[in-house]
Amino acid sequence: MGETITLKSPLDGFEFAAYRARPTDARRGGLLLIQEIFGVTDHIRELADSFAAEGYETIAPAFYDRLEKNFAADYSQEAIAKGVQYSQATPWDQVAADAQAAIDALAPPVFVTGFCWGGAATWLAACRCTGLSAAAAFYGRRITELKDEVPRIPTILHFGKTDASIPMERVEEIGQAHPELPIYLYDAGHGFVSDRRADYDPDSARLARLRTLAHFANNGGGRSSA
């Protein structure tokens, strides 16, 4: 369904790749889909296609292109270590600028969602980027680094109760800093949306997706003929 496009960062003019999937029926809006630490994998492209099927023109940028073009890792320990290394070597200011390039490439209304490292980047975009209508972040461990920043748009968060990488204390920190923020908890571990992960939980994934789509619909994601 999708195609590869090129975006240009407003930060430094760097050109990087992105996967774009267009809806085949009436359009609800645009969607910035932010990768896990593993890059723009088959799983991320499949998610983009699935959101496009719901009516969202979806762009999934390759945020690690400055470090390695076309990076797409498996779930081995070596690949996880490399993904963590790349995430730590990608500054938040750069992430926000690259996210803005994708947002600007989409006709409004534009939404954002992301998973794992992309969950924290989703929070970042909600706080710093312009042109967004709503955000839904999935198990963003590093949101606590950014918890003092305030989303500019309606934002919801999804976490797994048994996620060993994100103790409930961290989730509570976010809730205490933003008591008005909807935080949904699931009987699942980290990465519960991905059917490639050991912690995949189809019931939790389905419920979180329904809540995300409802959140977008309630904030401008209605059907149109555009």
Catalytic center residues: 116, 163, 190
- Inter-CA distances, 158 with 23, 89, 169, 210, Å: 25, 25, 15, 12
Q: Where are the alpha helices (DSSP H) in 65-179?
A: 77-88, 92-104, 117-128, 168-177
Contact 7, 87 (CB under 8 A): no
Contacts of 89 (CB under 8 A, 6+ apart): 67
Q: What does the block give as tokens for 112?
A: 């954002």
Contact 51, 216 (CB under 8 A): no
Q: Supply the Cα-derived Rg of the chain in whole angstroms.
A: 16
Preceding peptide of 109 cis, ω within 30°: yes
Token look-up 């571990």 returns 189
